[in-house]
Amino acid sequence: MNIKLKLILGIFGIFITIFLWSVFVVGELHKMPTDYEIILEQEGNDRILNTIGGELSDPFQLREIFRVKVVNVEGSVLEIYSTIVGKDSATGEIIFDSTVIYFVDRDTRKHVKDVEGYFSFPQNVKKQNYELFHPIVLGPATFVFERIETINDLEVYIFSCESLDNDLSYAFPKLEPKKIIFDGKCRTAIEPVTGSPISFELDWDIYFVEDGVRGDQVELGGKKSTEYSEFELAEHAKTLKQVYFLYEIVIPVLIGGILFSVLVGIIILNEKIKSDFLNMRKTIKLEKLVKEERLTAIGELSASIAHDIRNPLSVIKLSNEIIKKTVHDEKGLNEIKRIDRSITRITHQLNQVLDFVRKTPLKLEKFSLNHVLEGTIKTMEIPPNISINMPQDDFEVLIDRSKMESVFYNIFFNAIQAIENQKGTITIRTSEEGDLIKLEFENDGPNMPDEALSKIFEPLFTTKQKGTGLGLCAAKISVEQHKGTISVTNNPVTFTIKLPIILQ
């Protein structure tokens, strides 16, 4: 996948993320909240009829509390209680008490039962007329856009309304059974982004109606929001505007910016990793090629030298055997033994070289493991300070005896070199592990360095000045030819070989 396509897919993913944010988070923000509540304090002057046939009272100061609150939620429908309580400021007498229940769709802010139109102004208010059945007006009304003003440093839209012929008999129980009609004219200020009310003014004319004819006056007055209410509602609207700006603009921009930065970073990192990986592969391939060429050259040269040395070495060995029969004094015999040890060491190193170079097919036969181990030990000169504990269990395996003896020889030789002149033991254990036979060669020598553990089976790696670095590498090749594995661990030093019981 090229960078351009990755970038396109990444940007598409960013747009999907922002779209989902807008639909689910911002969309929920635009709905009427399930805890929707407004409290509006109003003051004004009023005159009211106390008894049928009486006169209107003298003007008095009126104080009203208008409150709407959600009391129940069913799906997207809010059940809202609207109460208006008006009192005589001087006496505290309740002049007006009205409670009405409305059912409102929280998505559209429109009434869903009994009445039509908006319950409250929607968000993003336009400079146009709106049909509302507003609870403070107590009836349906057309709210007409008038102008733009500023209240408490907040830009608001001013709307006016007129609501006529609204039956308000339920609000005057002491004047029953007369029919009472409410006519009202209002003026309201709305913050256009959130649709929040900031202030409200209402003038009313309430009167009796009999047989369709207007009768005596019941109430005449007007009211407007207090400065305190206007301030509180304006501050609430400012806060809400900031929340809208945060959720609609700031957070999407941050999401887009962060995700785009992460996307670019991932693409750059991915391309760098890809480039580094390709360069590493090229380097490894080149190193492997150089190593193989070197090993091939070393192998060919070593094989040639080994073959050239083996012939005179055989003559030396045969001559030494002949001389051994003619020498009887202890000093001479000791010198002959030194020659034997040197011949054995040279022979072992030559065999390591040839085992590494030669990759001959396996000659498989069934053998007892203990028998092969014993045969290997007989070909070696085991120092008197080292004892070998043979395994208690024996197993028959299908192996190339010559190659496996060479493997065991190299492991024994490595252990003998590690133990050196200290008194030590080489313990061999065999066990069955599923369809594998496991051999463990444990010795008392010191732990290997960490570097040696990871490289000990690599060609030409050795920790001994006298080593060729090919013995254990050749052993690994032979074990793998048998479809087996070889490994080494510390504490104590243990070589582990696993061979299949039946070679596939």
| Confidence band, pLDDT 50/70/90 cuts, at residue 121 | very high
C-alpha count within 13 angstroms, C-beta hemisphere, residue 434: 4
Instruction: Answer with the residue of higher pLDDT: 283 or 462.
Output: 283
Instruction: Give the CA count within 13 Å in the CB-facing half-sphere of 426.
Output: 25
Q: Which domain holds residue 494?
A: 363-500
Residue that finishes a domain, picked among 225, 255, 283: 225
Q: With 80 as the cut, is the pLDDT of residue 193 above it?
A: yes
* Mean pLDDT value across the chain: 87
- The pLDDT assigned to 135 comes to 85
Q: Is residue 88 part of a domain?
A: yes
3-state SS class at 141: strand
Put the strands of the sheet holding 180-191 in their side by side order. Answer: 110-111, 94-105, 77-88, 60-74, 37-48, 213-225, 196-210, 180-191, 154-167, 139-151, 130-134
Which long-range CB contacts under 8 A does 466-472 form with residues at least 24 apart?
Answer: 466/345, 467/417, 468/349, 468/352, 468/353, 470/352, 470/353, 470/355, 470/356, 471/348, 471/352, 471/355, 471/410, 471/413, 471/414, 472/410, 472/411, 472/414
The CATH number of residue 446's host domain is: 3.30.565.10
Token couple for 331: 């000093």
Query: CA 409 to CA 415: how far, in whole Å?
Result: 10
Q: Residue 397 region, left (φ>0) first, then alpha (ψ -120 to 50), else beta?
A: beta
Distance (Å, whole) CA 493 – CA 442: 6
Residue 466 pLDDT exceeds 80: no
| 207-221, 351-365, 484-498: segment of lowest average pLDDT | 351-365
The whole-angstrom separation of Cα 7 and Cα 12 is 8
Beta bridge pairs of residue 486: 497
- With 80 as the cut, is the pLDDT of residue 181 above it? yes
Confidence of residue 191 (pLDDT cuts 50, 70, 90): very high
Q: What is the DSSP string of 52-116?
A: TT--BPPPEEEEEEEEEEEEEEETTEEEEEEEEEEEETTT--EEEEEEEEEEEETTTTEE-SSS-
pLDDT in tens, 283-306: 888 877 776 676 666 666 666 766
pLDDT, tens digit (0-9, with 9 covering 90-100), for 250-271: 999 998 898 888 888 888 888 8
State residue 5's pLDDT score: 78
- Give the per-residue pLDDT at 348: 64
Six token digits for residue 311: 């012939």
Which token pair is 275?
A: 């480039």
> In terms of C-beta density within 10 A (0-12 exposed, 13-18 middle, 19 or more buried), how is residue 289 classed?
exposed
Is 481 part of any domain? yes
Give the mean model confidence (pLDDT) for residues 434-447.
Answer: 92
Q: Is residue 220 part of a domain?
A: yes
Q: Distance from CA of residue 262 to its chain's centroid?
A: 14
Consecutive H or E run containing 343:
helix 330-357
Rounded to an integer, the average pLDDT of 413-441 is 92
- pLDDT tens, position by position, 233-256: 999 999 999 999 999 899 999 988
Coil, strand or helix at 440? strand
Instruction: Note whether residue 427 is domain-resident.
Output: yes
Query: Cβ neighbours of residue 303 under 8 Å, at least 6 residues apart?
Result: 353, 354, 357, 358
In a domain, 276, yes or no: no
Tell whether pTM > 0.75: no
Instruction: Give a yes or no: residue 65 inside a domain.
Output: yes
Higher pLDDT, 408 or 350: 408
Torsion of CA 463, 469, 474, 480, to 10 degrees: 50
C-beta atoms surrounding 411 within 10 Å: 23
pLDDT of residue 347: 73
Cα separations in angstroms, 185 against 207, 256, 443: 15, 49, 107
The count of other CB atoms within 10 Å of the CB of residue 354 is: 18
3-state secondary structure of 327: coil
Specify the pLDDT at position 455: 84
247 found inside a domain? no
**pLDDT score at 303:** 64
Judged by average pLDDT, the poorest of 167-181, 336-350, 403-417 is 336-350
Residue 213 lies in a domain: yes
- Residue 194 predicted with pLDDT over 90: yes
Among 195, 225, 255, which residue terminates a domain? 225
Q: What is the pLDDT of residue 450?
A: 84
What's the total number of domains in the chain? 2
Contacts 24+ apart (CB under 8 A), 91-98: 95/46, 95/48, 95/62, 96/64, 96/171, 96/219, 97/171, 98/138, 98/168, 98/170, 98/171
- Which of 225, 253, 286 is the endpoint of a domain? 225
What are the pLDDT digits (tens) for 55-102? 899 999 999 999 999 999 999 999 999 999 999 999 998 888 889 999
Is residue 258 within 8 Å of 222, Cβ to Cβ?
no
- Sign of the CA dihedral running 183, 185, 191, 197: negative
